[in-house]
A and B are shown apart, each in its own frame.
Chain A
Amino acid sequence: MNSLDKQIEKRPKNLNLLSVKFPMSAVMSVGHRAAGILLFLLLPYLLYLLQLSLNNETDFLLVKEQLQSPMAKFFSLIIIWSLVHHFLAGIRYFLLDIDVGIEKHLAQKTAVFVMAGSFIIVILFALFFFQ
């Protein structure tokens, strides 16, 4: 580290996140990143479920039965939410890359769409699959 970096290190920092007002796009962005990490970490487990479900009929029914439990349903919703949120936020970023929706008011609106859309789709998923 050179002397300039050291000088910068000494400046006061406000690390109290509760004192900062976060726009919706910031919340959505953090959700996008967290969802990505969660899905990344879950890959081995999901692969294990896939393998089990294809092994033989008994294991398939076992997986199906295990997924009916309330705990499993709850975690499935979290996983589905991660995927949907990451998906929709990804589309928003894709559009931003080609300069669609980069105006401030539009960007704030699309961030809300992503969060609301994810929520709605997860509800639909729960209603459809978890009766």
Chain B
Amino acid sequence: MSFQAKGLQAWLLQRITGAFMALYILYVSGVMFTTEQMTYQVWYAWLAHPLMNTASGLFFLQLAIHAWVGMRDIVLDYIANDGLRLLTLIAISFFLVTCSLALLRILFSLSWSI
């Protein structure tokens, strides 16, 4: 039995990240539905703003954690071989970390002085 409560940790992380991501998604959906004309300037300014920029970075980090827990569940469900499990989990974590770094690079490359 694990006294670190890893199963509980994973469950909790998945729910908490899900809840926060839901708020972000509702906000973004609201903006999408209420913006008459999305031009390049509006789009860039919106995403470059420090608050939106940070929130988007947070969103993606939460997405990485949420996706990791989900994909780990799938691997545990469908892959019985230990070596194959390890390989896929390594591949998935590598994939998620790389995507997170790419997204952070995109967000950091936006300057706020437009």
Contact = CB atoms under 8 A, between A and B. Distances in A.
Interface of A: 33, 36-37, 39-40, 43-44, 47, 50-51, 53-54, 56-57, 60-61, 83, 87, 90-91, 94, 97, 128
Interface of B: 15, 18-19, 22, 25, 33, 40, 43-44, 47, 67, 70-71, 74, 95, 99, 102-103, 106, 109-110
B15 A97 contact: yes
Contact of B99 (A33, A47, A56): A47
Contact of A94 (B15, B44, B70, B109): B15
Given A36-B70, A94-B19, 16 more contacts: A36-B71, A40-B67, A43-B67, A43-B99, A47-B106, A50-B103, A53-B43, A56-B40, A60-B40, A60-B43, A87-B22, A90-B22, A91-B22, A94-B18, A97-B15, A128-B33
Interface secondary structure of B, over-half rule: helix
B111 to A, nearest CB: 11
B54 to A, nearest CB: 16
A56 B71 CA distance: 35
Nearest to B106: A51
Top 6 A-B residue pairs of the complex, sorted by shortest distance between their CB atoms:
A60-B40, A57-B40, A43-B99, A36-B70, A51-B106, A40-B67
Contacts of B70: 36, 40
A47 B15 contact: no
Contact of B43 (A33, A44, A54, A87): A54
B103 A47 contact: yes
B88 to A, nearest CB: 12
Contacts of A90: 18, 22
